[in-house]
Amino acid sequence: MSTTQEARNKAQHGRLVDAINARDPEVMSEVFDEIFLPDVRLDTPLPVQVPGVQAVKDVFATLHRAYPDLHIAVDDLIAEGDKLVARQTVTGTHRGEYMGHAPTGRSVTYKEIFVARFEDGRIAETWGVVDVLAQLRQLGLLPS
């Protein structure tokens, strides 16, 4: 893969994060449809029952209901070949139901790492690790 394609993949990730941080459902849906293949394979345990890009939309709708001020900061972004790795810090305030728990009003900061594989400039597959344990502890839902 050329440096140009790697730069394009990084730019696509930047568009994705910008759309998520904008917190506008219509913008997110449009950008998700442009960046992800419709049948994107998500190799991350997700609390949704639908496949493909709709699963991505559902996850972020859930997160934005729970954390209306959700923000993703990219700590590291590495592109090589057809893969991109993002290490990120996520912050938000628990103002809506999340995983069956009523809002606590508490702020959370947690880490996540995602690897994406691109095909023709679009995300075809992802693998992710999200520190849900840190989230639940900070919300007071698990002991520290």
Residue 143 forms part of a structural domain: no
Give the bridge partners for 89, in sequence order.
73, 111
Higher pLDDT, 46 or 34: 34
For 90-101, b where at least 16 C-beta lie within 10 A, e where not — what string?
bebbbeeebeee
Mean per-residue pLDDT, 41-67: 90
Residue partners of 3: CB distance under 8 A and separation at least 6: none
Domain that holds residue 130: 3-138
Residue 144 forms part of a structural domain: no
Q: Is 20 exposed, middle or buried (0-12, 13-18, 19+ CB in 10 A)?
A: buried
Average pLDDT of the residues of the chain: 94
- Count of beta carbons in the 10 Å neighbourhood of residue 144: 5
CATH classification at residue 59? 3.10.450.50
Residue 65 forms part of a structural domain: yes
Q: What percent of the chain has pLDDT over 70?
A: 99
Return d(Cα 72, Cα 35) in angstroms, integer. 17
Mean per-residue pLDDT, 26-37: 98
Residue 86 forms part of a structural domain: yes
Residue 125 forms part of a structural domain: yes
Residue 101 forms part of a structural domain: yes
What pLDDT, on a 0 to 100 scale, did the predictor assign at position 1? 46
Residue 39 forms part of a structural domain: yes
Residue 7 forms part of a structural domain: yes
Domain count, the chain: 1
